[in-house]
Amino acid sequence: MAQRFTPPMWMGYPQGGHSWTTFSEYPSPTGLHRESVAFYLSWHTFGLLEAVFGRNVEESQLLDAPVHGQVQMKLDRVQPMLIRWAVAMSNLRNDDGEGSVRDHLIYTAATQRAAYNQFMGLVARRYFGYPGSEHLEICRLVNYAACLGEAFWIITKGLFNRFLGPNTIPRHLQWASAPPLHDDSMFHAVVADGWCPSTINYMLSRATLATVRLALLRGPLYEEQHPDCTGTKCALAHVDTEHYVTRHTLEGCVCSFVGPDMSRIAELLRQEIFRSSPPRQARAAAIRYPSRSLMDPVRNMLPSLTCGPMGSAAQRRLGSPSAN
């Protein structure tokens, strides 16, 4: 059964604090200090993803120059955020003993992961009732959120290694027990944690991520058989693996989500392969790593990532040279 989504207590929502559903209301990022880094990290996770996924924003607006305080931004704005977080965390000093640093890093990793996973699940279940949400482009979820989540993980891994040494991050905070850093590692991690609906789980198990990206770029792959069902407060009850149908209940209403049309995906992929385009190798790289540049700032800031198998995989993924 799918996990329920409850606002994290550290935000004081909805009893108080800020509403994370409005990007323009996120706290000012100035004056970051030891106690607030984790909060801002998680806060920006919500606000940034909401803006990137286009809440009440046309796609053309996402290409405009970012305006502070408005839900108009482009992915380039992620880079200074990542740099700010990495710098703030890297400037922490072991003034109060190893235990306090460890506790802070654990809190940071836990809140960041909670924010990322919650938002990813909310978007996947289409909890946001803005116009067009019934045709939410999950390809953005794949391209941007997976890349952003992986960048977060790389930062977390590097910080634990820097302050506490290799292999010090608690197992329960690792993304699905530290999956290998390949293209869909973050997506598989979220699915393994039970945060995404079975429809996405099915897509990941039945097709490569590049294929899913390609097909989702052309429109929705499933049909909602019940027009009044939005998925809100939905608890997955049964997955018919034979017919690839996920049944769920919504306040007494039984609905069915039909799995993606894999023949349609295959046909779209064939069309893409034979389309007049750059050389095959370049095209494959573009499909597999559409948001690779997002993690470039992290590559130069955390050389400690070369430690251990996770770090080695990260270096290969980011294309940076291995350290001694």
CA-to-CA separations, 144 to 38, 148, 165, 267, 290, in angstroms, rounded: 21, 6, 30, 25, 9
pLDDT of residue 163: 66
Which of 287, 291, 262 has the alpha carbon at shortest distance from 275?
A: 287
- The two tokens of residue 130 are 């803005």
Give the Cα separation of 154 and 318 in Å (integer): 10
- The two tokens of residue 105 are 């890093």
The distance from CA 244 to its chain's CA centroid, rounded to whole angstroms, is: 25
Give the Cα separation of 64 and 62 in Å (integer): 6
What 3-state class would DSSP assign to 58? Answer: coil
Give the Cα separation of 110 and 123 in Å (integer): 20
Peptide bond before 14: cis, by omega within 30 degrees of 0?
yes
Phi, psi of 248 (to 5 degrees): -145, 170
Backbone φ/ψ region at 252: left (φ over 0), alpha (ψ -120 to 50), beta:
left
Stretches in the chain below the pLDDT threshold 50? 1-83, 85-86, 88-90, 92-99, 118-148, 150-151, 175-324
**Cα dihedral sign for 101, 104, 106, 108?**
negative
Give the Cα separation of 76 and 127 in Å (integer): 26
Which of 187, 184, 75 has the alpha carbon at shortest distance from 121?
A: 187
pLDDT of residue 108: 57
What 3-state class would DSSP assign to 238? Answer: strand
Which of 178, 174, 38 has the alpha carbon at shortest distance from 111?
A: 38
Query: For all residues of the chain together, what is the average pLDDT?
Result: 40
For the chain, the domains span 9-220+263-318, 223-258
CA-to-CA separations, 298 to 75, 124, 139, 153, 274, in angstroms, rounded: 15, 27, 24, 11, 36
Give the Cα separation of 204 and 188 in Å (integer): 8
pLDDT of residue 157: 63
pLDDT of residue 101: 62
Phi, psi of 242 (to 5 degrees): -70, -40
The distance from CA 258 to its chain's CA centroid, rounded to whole angstroms, is: 24
Whether pTM > 0.85 for this model: the answer is no
| CA quadruple 68, 69, 72, 73: dihedral, nearest 10 | 40
On whether the CB atoms of residues 43 and 27 are closer than 8 A, the answer is yes
CB atoms within 10 A of CB 203: 26
pLDDT of residue 167: 77
Give the Cα separation of 6 and 158 in Å (integer): 29
pLDDT of residue 271: 47
